[in-house]
Structure 1
Amino acid sequence: MNRYVWEMNVMEAFLRTIYDESHIKINEPLRNYAYTKIGGSADVLVFPVNEEQVQQTLQYADLHEIPVTILGNASNVLIRDGGIRGIVMNLTLMNGIERQGNKVIAKGGASLIETSRFALSHTLSGLEFACGIPGTVGGAVYMNAGAYGGEVSDVIDHAVVLTVAGERRILSKDELGLEYRNSAVAKQNLIVLEATFTLRPGVREEMEAKMNELTFLRESKQPLEYPSCGSVFKRPPNLFAGKLIQDAGLQGVRIGGAQVSTKHAGFIVNVGESTSDDYLSVIRLVQQKVKEAFDVELQMEVKVIGEDE
């Protein structure tokens, strides 16, 4: 039983004082917002449009001990079938991007792909690597997202964040503690409102060619025709997770609606109404078999959130 049932009406009534009707949804299926097309319902799902709404929501939740979960594009997230209790905040409406000199300033809910395209339109180089990463800027800072030899830590200057209690902070690159698929944002459960990237003047034709090349590589090698959470596992030192999985004979292995991709073994795809249990069962099987075959422990890159059904 939902332990927040007794206060749902009160919580909903408060949230309706700060959110427009179209920006608040009750008992909303989160699979509609996730790249995996998997996930149970949120008790309350809200779409803030400014920092004040985020702060008010966090402060109310902190006062009443209501859990808050932040979602962007949910591209590297697996949401369990039991859904998420309390308040889920989807930040994708906070998506403004602007230029100041050689800097690009993007809100936390802005698409990382759109941010890289914005930089291209202003002939500012450095974000080309991000042209195919489907997450938001906030999610990219959270996990120090990267691809094809580049990552957020290469170009970020600073970020504006909120604590879970709604306290605003500005963190320098050093304070963000960016490391391979991790950060101080993740460790301290911070919320990214805005990130500033320091770029350099580029040559548009060269930038465009690089982005076209990376897009081709992504589309030709990744199973984009199926829902997935992207690359499931972190890269082991001096190894490649996909190669290990392939060499362990696991490509094409399926449990329920979840399958190790036949196109790229580092991906697990939803090939037919997969549940989160199906997906997690494939993950555990892959980890077990790779450990047995190569004595390598694959660490998950994807974040698993929510409750069992």
Structure 2
Amino acid sequence: MNYFQVFNEIKEICPNIFMRFDERMAKHTFIQTGGPADIYIMPTNIEEVQQIARFAFTRNIPLTIIGYGSNIIIRDRGIRGIVMNFNRLNKINVTNNKIIADSGSSIIDVSRAALENHLSGLEFACGIPGSVGGAVLMNAGAYGGEISFVLKSVKALSMSGDIHILNKSDLQLGYRSSIFQKEKYIIVEVTFELENGDQDHIQELMRNNTIARESKQPLEYPSCGSVFKRPPNQFAGKLISESGLQGYRVGGAEVSVKHAGFIVNVNHASSADYLILIRHIQKTVKRKFKIDLETEVVII
């Protein structure tokens, strides 16, 4: 496919949209790895997202959506087709006990908006370094809370650009899972329903969560967060640690010595380093404990 021609055609449809050709995706992931995207686009509103989705759908061009890039590994050969980054799709509105946020909004910023408006329920999200859309996709959670507890509805597009309103009951929310991992939708807006609360108490919970996160997680290095889902009645980090893998390194990727559930980029790691290390961890834990570790991180 002639992506130079595709690039120019998109410019005709959306003349003011931010676009780059052959964009290196390592600049847009927390672990600082990943090859180039053929076409990289940053829309600023839902209408632009619709236009790009319809364009890609009618021409059978692959379309990939990313947000903050906090829980993804993009392979070193990059992503074919169009990549849309939603970071500029970031409006947050509060009405009574509801927060309506664009999917590219930071979930941390949404938790802060809740605090400012004396709304309780998102305290657990104050340290999750991802977008609202990514948090819904993964049903993200921490410190006893998760997105499903406060989610009311989602506005999403089909890959052909049609708008759908999905209620919480439609979303098949489970542990780090949702319908969006099975069905092809583009999340563009999320409505949260929270409880009125005491601002001082909300702030104290957020402060405690922040202290816990900073004390336990290897925030001094680039990482993609928790790499593996929690096995039933187990903790992935504990299994990895007890397998003697803390500090184990492939290339520039290392199992964190601070928290074994994290793989950190300590020395210019490649995505291949990460993927080889992930497979080694899975094989080692399987051999020692007969437990299959399933990845939480999304590999693109």
TM-score range, shorter chain: over 0.9
Cα distance between partner residues in 2 of 1:12 and 1:268: 36
Q: TM-score, normalised by structure 2?
A: 0.98
Query: Counterpart of 2:295?
Result: 300
Q: Could you tell me which residue of structure 1 aligns to residue 252 of structure 2?
A: 257
Q: Give the CA RMSD over aligned residues.
A: 0.9
Residue pair 1:141, 1:183 contacting (<8 A) in 2 also: yes
1:17 matched residue in structure 2: 12
Q: Equivalences for 1:165-180 in 2 at 5 Å?
A: 165-180=160-175
Match of 1:199 among 172, 187, 194: 194
Once the two structures are superposed, what CA deviation does each residue of 1:163-202 show, in whole Å capped at 9, x if it has no partner? 1111110000000111111111221021111110110111
Aligned positions of 1:23-102 closer than 5 A: 23-102=18-97
Structure 2's unaligned 5+ residue stretches are: none
The structure 1 residue matched to 2:108, chosen from 102, 113, 120, is 113
Of 123, 137, 140 in structure 1, the residue corresponding to residue 135 of structure 2 is 140
- Relative to 1, partners in 2 of residues 1:22 and 1:49: Cα closer, same or farther, differing over 3 Å? closer
Identical positions, percent: 50
Alpha-carbon distance in 2 for matches of 1:79, 1:18: 28
How far apart are 1:52 and its partner, in Å? 1.1
2:211 matched residue in structure 1 = 216
Match of 2:270 among 272, 275, 279: 275
In the alignment, structure 1 residue 154 sits paired with structure 2 residue 154: no
Unaligned runs of 5+ in 1: none
Does the alignment pair 1:242 with 2:237? yes
8 Å CA contact 2:30–2:224 kept in 1: the answer is yes
Q: Any idea what SS the aligned residue of 2:70 has?
A: coil
Give the AA of the match of 1:134: P
CA contact (8 A) 1:19 1:48 kept: no
Task: Give, in whole Å, the separation in 2 of the partners of 1:19 and 1:45.
Answer: 13
Q: TM-score, normalised by structure 1?
A: 0.95
Q: Offset at 1:10? A: 2.1
Report which stretch shifted further, 121-130 or 177-186. 177-186
Aligned residues of 2:17 and 2:43 also touching (Cα < 8 A): no
1:77 CA drift (Å):
0.3
2:143 maps to a residue whose letter is Y
Q: How far apart in 2 are the matches of 1:47 and 1:172?
A: 27
Out of 179, 182, 198, the position equivalent to 1:184 is 179
Deviation at 1:18, TM superposition (A): 3.9
Partner in structure 1 of residue 224 of structure 2: 229
Tell me what 2:159 maps to.
164
For 1:138 and 1:23, the matched residues in 2 are separated by 20
Contact 2:11 2:17 in 1 (8 A): no
Q: State the shift of 1:35 in Å.
A: 0.3
Check whether the contact 1:124–1:201 (CA below 8 A) recurs between aligned residues. Answer: yes
Offset of residue 17 of structure 1: 2.2
Offset, 1:21: 5.8
Measure, in 1, the Cα distance between the counterparts of 2:114 and 2:69: 23
In structure 2, do the counterparts of structure 1 residues 136 and 181 end up closer, same or farther at CA, with 3 Å as the change threshold? same
One-letter code aligned to 1:189: K
Contact map agreement 2:54 2:160 (CA 8 A) in 1: yes
How many angstroms does 1:22 deviate by? 6.7
